């Protein structure tokens, strides 16, 4: 029996691959941000340190400017109607993102998701402080999934996971069924039960309908 669908956000529920990168580009800070990324990928710093260095680049920027940028992020085609149908099938809809709450909360609100968790940009007096509360990293999505499922009273094997990148693989391993949606690498596709290449989120519906029907 399936009771929930867990989504990644960047690249799945939105059409951008990274909210961090999107904001850096809009603020003209991508070159500086690349140095932080290089330090992380070379193993010199942790994901948490990388996140904090990235957000420090935005210190002093009005939060209203960040929201203005985030509101430009395009959502995946047919995402709202897809979430609505999943709910009609009796499924909880959850988002787990190693991105930022500024986009995840917007997605949660506009798509009427049941639950969402991401990293929290710290704002004080309407301004970005340069700090971030890291709850979801590039390595811990499996543990985060377990905690959320426990909180909601759902077994991880009762979940269908929809993700696109390596960081979603730990969730694939825990789920009852996994969908690689426009996967960023062959590794991601290999770890999923099925791969879907599509610009529209509704392409996941035939598979999920069949799963729910066959596990009643």
CATH number at residue 206: 3.40.50.1000
> Do the domain assignments include residue 166?
yes
Note down the domain range covering 176.
4-18+72-214
> Do the domain assignments include residue 184?
yes
Percent of the chain with pLDDT over 70: 99
Residue 216 has pLDDT above 70, yes or no: no
SS3 3: coil
Per-residue pLDDT reduced to its tens digit, 147-178: 999 999 999 999 999 999 999 999 999 999 99
Q: How many CB atoms lie within 10 A of CB 33?
A: 20
Structural domain count of the chain: 1
> Do the domain assignments include residue 106?
yes
In angstroms, how far is the first alpha carbon of the chain from the final one?
Answer: 6
> Do the domain assignments include residue 40?
no
146: left (phi over 0), alpha (psi -120 to 50) or beta: alpha
> Do the domain assignments include residue 168?
yes
Two tokens at 192?
A: 């999923």
Per-residue pLDDT reduced to its tens digit, 178-208: 999 999 999 999 999 999 999 999 999 999 9
> Do the domain assignments include residue 34?
no
Under 8 Å between Cβ of 191 and 175: no
Per-residue pLDDT reduced to its tens digit, 102-141: 999 999 999 999 999 999 999 999 999 999 999 999 999 9
Nearest to 5 by CA among 169, 158, 198: 158
Q: What is the mean pLDDT of the segment spanning 5-14?
A: 98
Predicted pLDDT at 214 = 85
Q: Which residue has the tokens 């269908």?
A: 160
H/E run at residue 155: none
Rounded Cα gap, residues 41 and 31, in angstroms? 16
Rounded Cα gap, residues 66 and 18, in angstroms? 14
pTM summary value: 0.96
Predicted pLDDT at 128 = 97
**pLDDT, the chain, mean:** 96
């Amino acid at each position: 029996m399936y009771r929930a669908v867990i989504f990644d956000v960047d690249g799945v529920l939105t059409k951008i691959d990274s909210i961090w990168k999107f904001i850096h580009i809009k603020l003209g800070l991508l070159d500086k941000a690349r140095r932080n990324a290089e330090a992380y990928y070379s193993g010199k710093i942790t994901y948490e340190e990388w996140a904090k260095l990235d957000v420090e680049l935005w210190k002093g920027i009005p939060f209203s400017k960040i929201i203005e940028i985030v509101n430009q992020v395009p959502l995946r085609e047919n995402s709202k109607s897809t979430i609505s149908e999943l709910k009609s099938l009796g499924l909880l809809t959850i988002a787990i993102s190693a991105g930022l709450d500024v986009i995840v909360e917007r997605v949660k609100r506009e798509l009427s998701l049941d639950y969402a968790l991401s990293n929290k940009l710290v704002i004080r007096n309407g301004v970005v402080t340069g700090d971030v509360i890291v709850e979801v990293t590039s390595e811990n999505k499996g543990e985060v999934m377990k905690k959320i499922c426990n909180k909601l009273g759902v077994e991880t094997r009762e979940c269908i996971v929809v993700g696109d990148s390596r960081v979603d693989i730990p969730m694939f391993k825990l789920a009852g069924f996994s969908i690689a949606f426009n996967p960023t690498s062959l590794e991601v596709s290999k770890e999923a039960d099925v791969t879907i290449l599509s610009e529209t989120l509704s392409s996941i519906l035939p598979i999920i309908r069949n799963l729910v029907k066959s596990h009643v």
